[in-house]
Amino acid sequence: MKTKTEKPVLTDKENLNEVVECLRENIPISSKKTETEKDLYNIIIGAAASADSIENTSNKLDKPYTGKTVRNYLVNNFQDFQELEAQINKTLKSKLPRGIRKRKHKLAIDINLIPYYGHPNESEKDYIYRSQAKSGTCSFYAYATIYASAKNKRLTLGLIGIKKSHTNVAIITYLLDKIDSLKIKFKRLYLDRGFYSASVIKWLMALDIPFIIPAIKNGKTGGINQYLKAKKSYKTRHTMNQGKDDEVTFPLWIVCKYLKGKRNKHGVEYLAFVAYKVDIRLDYIVEDYRRRFGIETSYRLKNICRIRTTTKNPILRLFYVGISFVVVNIWIYLFWSKISKPRRGSRLVYQDLFNLKQMLAFLTNTINQIYGVKKIVYIPQG
């Protein structure tokens, strides 16, 4: 039987303090009293921990702040989109485990879409991103992240809110700028097929960044389809021309897989990848790219602790999304720095003792203890 440490390595109150103080230091909320700012963040974190709205969280707690009061503080404090974005990115980088900065890592860039319904007004329309139909709409609030996977440490290093005017090249450039201070070298950069274009490929090759992008097989003949006839995997080069100034020649890897009844299918399945300066075997590229889908896990974790809202204010939306990514980053920081032991080769991490839901339970229970939970309902007189 394994013995426990004599003293706890982390308590629920210490857990809440780590999150609240990190946010207060990097994304301050101006208020007349120091305690007011701490109370506001306790309520905000309580909403994130239960994946609920600010209003519902305020209503269930026995304290003097209503959801409207908290929201007014946020609206009055956060009025500049770029300034808030910079503060969120500073916060994401403030709690990183050792071994992230100044190292070589695999990184991924992806876009997270949150459905938008209705007709945007003048202050909203620049922040509405159009994409393929999903959840009954083609309009979305969109956020792009750059994400690192290093020794099972899956961390969001940068976040931007996408505007209608942003091109894919601009999105990549802004995200690379967000992590420039970390001095990270690229082992490989993974992008999804939405980034497959001549302008993106040309830009990444000019930056000399090793990258992998799935190639899109459009049409029945020509383009990528002309290479999908061989009986075994191979490498070639392809020239893409999407306009007078958008022509680029790049390495193209064609993977040939025999289905042999898999998914009740037979015959040959072809997969094509743009693979620039990638130092892996041809027969491993599919598995290597699939590992990139750890970023999808990151988005699922983010959704577990995303504050629910119906507001159409783009700045408040950015704040709520940023909070969720920050909470996940702090969780990773805590179990790598506290719920672990040094050993030869690498740290022994007891992640099963402190998963994300356990952290959120710590936050919820502590906040409930601080303010108490309402147990009585009164109907107003008169």
Residue at 312 is within a domain: no
363 and 226 both lie in a single domain = no
Structural domain range at position 360: 12-77+339-371
Residue at 306 is within a domain: no
Tell me, rounded to whole angstroms, the distance of Cα 365 from its chain centroid: 26
Q: Coil, strand, or helix at residue 347?
A: coil
- Helices and strands in the chain, H and E counts: 11, 11
Is the pTM of the predicted complex or chain greater than 0.85? Answer: yes
73 and 123 both lie in a single domain = no
Of 241, 265, 298, the one marking the end of a domain is: 298
Provide the pLDDT for residue 33. Answer: 74
Phi-psi region of 25 (alpha: psi -120 to 50; beta: other; left: phi over 0): alpha
Residue at 321 is within a domain: no
Residue at 316 is within a domain: no
118 and 200 both lie in a single domain = yes
Residue at 92 is within a domain: yes
Provide the pLDDT for residue 298. Answer: 59
Residue at 253 is within a domain: yes
33 and 140 both lie in a single domain = no
All residue ranges of the chain with pLDDT < 70 are 1-6, 151-152, 219-221, 261, 293-299
Domain count, the chain: 2
| Residue whose pair of structure tokens reads 């980088």 in the numeric block | 93
Residue at 328 is within a domain: no
Residue at 304 is within a domain: no
CA distance 294 to 347: 21
Question: Does an H or E element contain 140, and which?
Answer: strand 137-150
111 and 190 both lie in a single domain = yes
Of 243, 270, 298, the one marking the end of a domain is: 298
Q: What does residue 161 show for φ and ψ, rounded to 5 degrees? A: -85, 125
94 and 178 both lie in a single domain = yes
144 and 213 both lie in a single domain = yes
Provide the pLDDT for residue 229. Answer: 86
Provide the pLDDT for residue 297. Answer: 60
Q: Mean pLDDT across the chain, nearest whole number? A: 89
pLDDT digits (tens, 9 = 90+) for 227-267: 988 889 999 999 998 777 788 999 999 999 887 767 777 77
